[in-house]
């Protein structure tokens, strides 16, 4: 993983984790507030109930004219009984400095409920209930939430890492293909350019015109032209104006065959044609591209000293070459951009991508049949133009 990929990975993880952490924290905060309100309401009800029970016991003792014996309700609550002057009658409160003027209040450690009786019972005018368990519950709740946030954050970080790896994988593959494309571009252009330079140099030194040198220049020029046309079409096809017109596909095929005839002969290959008049209504420029690319591929991947057949009949164009062929697995990917079935041959992996995109655009059916180490046939079935009334 290079520096750019690491930086992208860490940036994604940082943003993903931080945003998830903030969202989880907000949810945890809302949950905390809701739980605290529920705890406080429950505590208030229980403290009120404890105060009422003591008041009932005081009333029962007063009615029965018996001595009141104070019994703490439970270990959770502490009770304080005060007279009208605030003097302690009984108390197991941890803090006896109680604010009797308030009905309920809290300090740093305790919550107090103050119940003022309508009239004193056995000299008791105030019943104070003290609770310190609420803070313990809050502490447990905070500890629980912090633990959950940490666990969920670790889980999110792990999921984010897996997601980033999944997201980066196709990008890495794309970058790898682009790097190979740049490398192949240099190699692809270097071959005809070197041939041109050598041929021009030979022409300068020779007083006579050598047909072989002229042929090398012609072939190299056509190769450079094909490379330029391929790259420019991929770069500008989305903004190029489409111009559909009626024309004879036979003339377009013948033009492409003439163009690549010298290139084929440089590999001792012959192009054999069997074409008939075929009127279509399409964009001539784009159709020329797919024919050129298929013939170029037939030459590139064909055996030397072999024959390339170009057949146009019944609105179906067949281009047949004898060569390595295409295996079943490669048939599924050869039309993808930058894909090449043979790394030993030069090329960009753009030709069949152009063919596929144009065929899809004009509803041209494309089919491939291939026998490894024997021959490959590309079939293009063109739509029959509708007759105008």
- Domain locations in the chain? 1-194, 242-381
With 0-12 / 13-18 / 19 or more C-beta atoms within 10 angstroms meaning exposed / middle / buried, residue 305 is: exposed
pLDDT tens, residue order, the chain (389 aa): 567 667 777 777 788 888 888 888 888 889 888 888 888 888 888 888 888 888 888 888 888 888 888 777 667 788 889 988 889 888 888 878 888 888 888 877 788 889 998 888 888 899 998 887 777 788 888 888 888 888 888 888 888 888 877 777 777 777 776 666 555 555 555 556 655 665 566 666 666 665 665 665 665 676 666 666 666 555 555 555 678 889 999 998 998 888 888 888 888 899 999 999 999 999 888 888 888 889 888 888 888 889 999 999 999 999 999 988 887 777 777 777 655 555 544 455 566 877 888 888 889 999 988 888 888 999 999 998 876 44
Helix pair 284-300, 249-265: axis angle to 10 deg = 30
Check if the beta carbon of residue 381 is closer than 8 Å to that of residue 363.
no
Fold entry, domain 242-381: Heat Shock Protein 90 (3.30.565)
Q: What is the pLDDT of residues 150-208, one digit of tens each?
A: 888 888 888 888 887 777 777 777 777 666 655 555 555 555 665 566 556 666 666 66
**In which element (H, E) is residue 267 found?**
none
Phi and psi at 222, nearest 5°, equal -70, -40
The answer to whether the CB of 364 falls within 8 A of the CB of 287 is no
How confident is the model over 77-133, as pLDDT tens digits?
888 899 888 898 888 888 788 888 888 888 777 888 899 988 888 888 999 988 877
Q: Are 100 and 82 in contact (CB under 8 A)?
A: yes
């Amino acid at each position: 993983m290079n520096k750019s990929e690491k930086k992208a990975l860490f940036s994604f993880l940082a943003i993903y984790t931080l945003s998830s952490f903030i969202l989880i924290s907000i949810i945890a905060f809302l949950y905390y507030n809701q739980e605290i309100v529920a705890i406080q309401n429950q505590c208030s009800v229980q403290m009120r109930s404890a105060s009422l029970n003591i008041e009932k016991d005081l009333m029962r003792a007063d009615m029965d004219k018996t001595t009141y014996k104070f019994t703490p309700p439970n270990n959770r609550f502490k009770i304080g009984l005060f007279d009208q002057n605030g003097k302690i009658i009984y108390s197991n409160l941890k803090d006896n400095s109680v604010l009797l003027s308030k009905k309920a209040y809290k300090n740093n450690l305790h919550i107090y409920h103050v119940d003022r009786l309508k009239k004193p019972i056995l000299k008791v005018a105030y019943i104070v209930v003290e609770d310190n368990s609420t803070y313990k519950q809050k502490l447990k709740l905070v500890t629980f939430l912090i633990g959950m946030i940490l666990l969920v954050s670790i889980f999110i970080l792990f999921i984010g890492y897996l997601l980033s790896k999944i997201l980066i994988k196709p990008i890495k593959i794309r970058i790898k293909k682009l790097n190979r494309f740049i490398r192949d571009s240099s190699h692809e252009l270097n071959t005809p350019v070197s041939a041109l330079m050598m041929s021009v140099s030979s022409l300068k030194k020779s007083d006579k015109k050598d047909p072989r040198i002229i042929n090398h220049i012609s072939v190299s020029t056509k190769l450079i032209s094909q490379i330029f046309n391929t790259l420019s079409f991929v770069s500008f096809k989305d903004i190029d104006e489409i111009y559909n017109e009626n024309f004879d596909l036979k003339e377009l095929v013948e033009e492409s065959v003439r163009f690549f005839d010298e290139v084929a002969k440089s590999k001792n290959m012959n192009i054999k044609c069997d074409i008939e008049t075929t009127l279509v209504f399409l964009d001539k420029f784009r159709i020329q591209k797919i024919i050129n690319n298929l013939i170029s591929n037939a030459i590139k991947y064909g055996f030397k000293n072999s024959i390339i057949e170009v057949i146009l009949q019944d609105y179906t164009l067949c281009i047949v070459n004898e060569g390595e062929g295409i295996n079943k697995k490669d048939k599924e990917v050869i039309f993808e951009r930058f894909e090449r079935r043979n790394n030993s041959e030069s090329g960009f992996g753009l030709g069949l991508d152009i063919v596929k995109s144009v065929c899809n655009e004009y509803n041209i059916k494309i089919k491939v049949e291939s026998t490894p180490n024997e021959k490959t046939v590309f079939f293009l079935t063109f739509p029959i133009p509708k007759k105008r009334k």
